[in-house]
Amino acid sequence: MTPRASSLQRAESALIIFAKAPIPGQVKTRLCPPLTPDEAASLHGSFVLDAMERSQEAGRHGSVTVERFLACAPPAEHVFFKIMEERHKVRLLRQTGDDLGARMDQACKEVFALGYQRALLVGTDVPSLPASYYGQA
């Protein structure tokens, strides 16, 4: 996990966004064809960027403070995730576990161990998810 500068008020809730790096041939493979692996990777990267932008609003509304995490696969050291960390001020988590359920469980355990009271997990495959839904959850 990558450290982040502490703020004056600790967030109560963790918003964990699950994402893969946009590596051609490793993401959105069911869309190939008709897309090429490069086009599928570009689409996936756009979905991740959309999730970053929509989730940023979650921390600005309501009385609950929210800290955003990006659960990364492959490891958080991938340049794509480092760019997301810098530009979108998210904390990075490494996805660990044999399947998605195990990876989600581990991510929740990590944020609860850091002292967060609540965790919301979202993926990046629903680009039309309204930003208001984050606040409602």
11 domain residue, yes or no: no
Asked if the structure places residue 69 within a domain, the reply is yes
Specify if 6 maps to a domain. Answer: no
Domain ranges, residue 97: 21-136
Q: What DSSP string runs through 62-101? A: SSS-EEEEEEEES-TTSHHHHHHHHHH-PEEEE--SSSHH
- Residue 124: pLDDT above 60? yes
Pairing of the two strands 91-94 and 66-73: parallel
Pair of tokens at residue 16: 């964990």
pLDDT more than 90, % of the chain:
69
Q: The CATH number of the domain where 86 resides is what?
A: 3.90.550.10
Distance CA 37, CA 63 (A): 43
Q: How is residue 17 written in tokens?
A: 């966004």
Q: Count CB-CB contacts under 10 A for residue 112.
A: 13
Identity of the amino acid at 80: F
- Distance from chain centroid for Cα 60: 17
Q: What is the pLDDT of residues 22-32, one digit of tens each?
A: 999 999 999 99
Residue 13 placed within a domain:
no
Q: What is the rounded distance in angstroms from the CA atom of residue 10 to the CA atom of residue 59?
A: 12
Question: Could you tell me if 14 and 66 are in contact, meaning their C-beta atoms sit under 8 angstroms apart?
Answer: yes
Kindly report, residue by residue over 61-88, the tens digit of the pLDDT.
556 688 999 999 988 889 999 999 999 9
Residues β-bridged to residue 71: 18, 93
